[in-house]
Amino acid sequence: MKNICVIGVGYVGLVTGTCFADLGNNVTALDINQQRIENLKKGILPIYEPGLKELVERNVTAGRLHFTTSYEEALRDTEFVFICVGTPSGVDGEADLQYVRAAAEAIAQHMDHPMIIVNKSTVPVGTGDWVSDIIRNTQPKPIDFAVVSCPEFLREGSAVRDFMNPDRTVLGSSDQAAAEAVAQLYLPLRAPIVMTDIRTAEMIKYASNAFLATRISFINEISIICEQLGADVEEVAEGMGFDKRIGHHFLRAGVGYGGSCFPKDVRALTYMAETHGMHPQLLRAVTEINNFQRKHVALKLRDLLGDLQGKTIAILGLAFKENTDDIRESPALAVAQILLEQGATIRAYDPVAMENAAREVPELVLCQSPYEAVAGADAVAVLTPWNEFKNLDMERIRDSMKTPIMVDGRNMYNPSEMREMGFRYRAVGRGCNGDGVDFNGE
């Protein structure tokens, strides 16, 4: 059992803290947001994440997980401090480090015994050294500490499972003993541990996310070529993926990637390269293709409906992906904005993200079910691949729409079946699919 403090109770912090508590450690999670901490003490979580609420309750009840806004309380007797604060995008795409700086300063001011500071926030290469400097320069009196970079790779929607079953743990530090002490915390997870220097660890995180984003933009570009040449991107991805050197993961064409990591991290890596005099052409293209994918949905709707002014379009799915209420950089909201700008009315439904979406785009007409959303609509766009959209009653949908037009932004349905049912149906990159339609799927 180790004493661990986690700073920041967003996705990374809350999942990390709760999972470490579940592994038998004594964890205090700190956030400067009083309301969040009050809510957590009452069992109200700031995010929706499958399985997390139960895990928080279990560990609070067992006395292994505590919440506080006080650094003094959080750092008392702690051996490890995990920095898990947000690093949002700045104006030019650079990571905004104000919260990391604030956390480092507060740790330094309250440090009264040696501790290991573990950085989990995604930070530009070199930030670990910068954090060390801040702490050293802010400490009222010199106390030993070490900084270890331990990037987080968990995905929203499966964050608890990802934490408990990581593919690897990456640890970077100039202090071998500190890195080994952090490695001990991760040993129960039985994953390979990569020990390296701090800058390399920070780079592994960016390179991993940029690579996955590149795969998505790659298959999205292929999807556009497929649409023009009459091939089916779903089968292309399937056929490619059996090659062990390629694999099937992250080859789903769609409306592009969103969320709190990929868009921001690709931009931040681009910015880092540019500010060092490089021309990161591939990274720029990855972002450009991703932005186009959103516009492409609107172009398809325009093609099917003509002028969008005065048209009513139903959107199914607002979260950036399934199993989360997170709408940060959600492709669905980006599409909604484009359609609203073109004069359409949007009737929207999402199982859990509607409240968040309404704050961001108040013009949305929120509906209580997919069926309510499509009633009387000129077209429907499916933009988040929630399970509950997989088996919709399509006949009911067709009959309640003004015109049965569907743009399936996530390739959820069988094109031939949809067309047989009478839909004018467009998917992503499914130009032919053997059903004899012309290359655009009409």
Task: Establish whether 261 is a catalytic residue.
Answer: yes
Backbone angles phi, psi at 348, to 5 degrees: -125, 150
Position with the least CB separation from ligand UDX: 261
The two most distant CA atoms of the chain are separated, in Å, by: 76
**250 interacts with ligand UDX by CB under 6 A:** yes
Is residue 313 a contact partner of residue 301, using CB atoms and an 8 Å limit? yes
Q: Is 172 in the site for ligand UDX (CB under 6 A)?
A: no
Judged by beta carbon, residue 67 or residue 320, the one nearer ligand UDX is 320
Judged by beta carbon, residue 131 or residue 261, the one nearer ligand UDX is: 261
What are the φ/ψ torsions at residue 126 (nearest 5 degrees)? 110, -10
DSSP lists the bridge partners of residue 379 as 313
Q: Which residue from 67, 80, 163, 262 is in contact with ligand UDX, where contact means CB under 6 A?
A: 262
350: left (phi over 0), alpha (psi -120 to 50) or beta: beta
Residue 232 DSSP label: B
Residues in Cβ contact with 438 at an 8 Å cutoff, skipping those fewer than 6 apart: none
Minimal distance, residue 292 CB to ligand UDX, in Å: 13
Q: How far apart are CA 377 and CA 401, in angstroms?
A: 5
If the CB atoms of residues 78 and 127 are measured against ligand UDX, the closer one turns out to be 127
And the tokens for 144? Answer: 């030993």
Question: Where does this chain touch ligand UDX (CB under 6 A) — which range of 148-156, 308-316, 335-343, 390-398?
Answer: 148-156
Q: Kindly state whether residue 429 participates in binding ligand UDX, applying the rule CB under 6 A.
A: no
* 49: contact with ligand UDX by CB under 6 A: no
Q: Return the number of the residue (7 or 204) whose C-beta is nearest ligand UDX.
A: 204
Q: What does R_g of the chain's alpha carbons equal in angstroms?
A: 24
Closest approach, Cβ 267 to ligand UDX, in A, equals: 13
Using rule CB under 6 A, residue 334 touches ligand UDX: no
117: which strand partners?
81, 147
What's the gap between Cα 348 and its chain centre? 21
The residue length of the chain stands at 442
Q: Which stretch binds ligand UDX (CB under 6 A): 68-76, 135-143, 177-185, 259-267?
A: 259-267
Helix, coil or strand: residue 30: strand
Give min distance, CB of 216 to ligand UDX, in A: 5
Active-site residue identified among 19, 84, 226, 261: 261
Min dist CB 188 to ligand UDX, Å, is 20
Nearest approach in angstroms of CB 256 to ligand UDX is 6
Question: Pattern of binders to ligand UDX over 93-132, x per CB under 6 A?
Answer: ----------------------------------------
Residues 6+ apart with CB under 8 A from 63: none
Tell me which stretch binds ligand UDX (CB under 6 A): 88-96, 173-181, 252-260, 415-423.
252-260
Exposure string for 380-415, b = 16+ CB within 10 A, e = fewer:
bbbbbbbeebeebebeebbebbeebbbbbbbbbbbb
For ligand UDX, the closer CB: 119 or 209: 209
Name which of 47, 11, 8 is nearest 325 in CA terms.
47
Enumerate residues 265-324 that contact ligand UDX by CB under 6 A: 320-321
Q: Which amino acid is at 369?
A: S
> Beta strands of 244-338 (E only): which ranges?
312-316
Among 22, 31, 49, 152, binds ligand UDX (CB under 6 A): 152
Residue nearer to ligand UDX on the CB measure, 101 or 155:
155
CA angle 41, 47, 53 (to 5 degrees): 55
206 to 225: interface string for ligand UDX, x by CB under 6 A? ---x--x---x---------
User: Hey, which residues are catalytic here?
Assistant: 261
Binding site for ligand UDX (CB under 6 A): 152-156, 209, 212, 216, 250-252, 254, 257-259, 261-262, 320-321
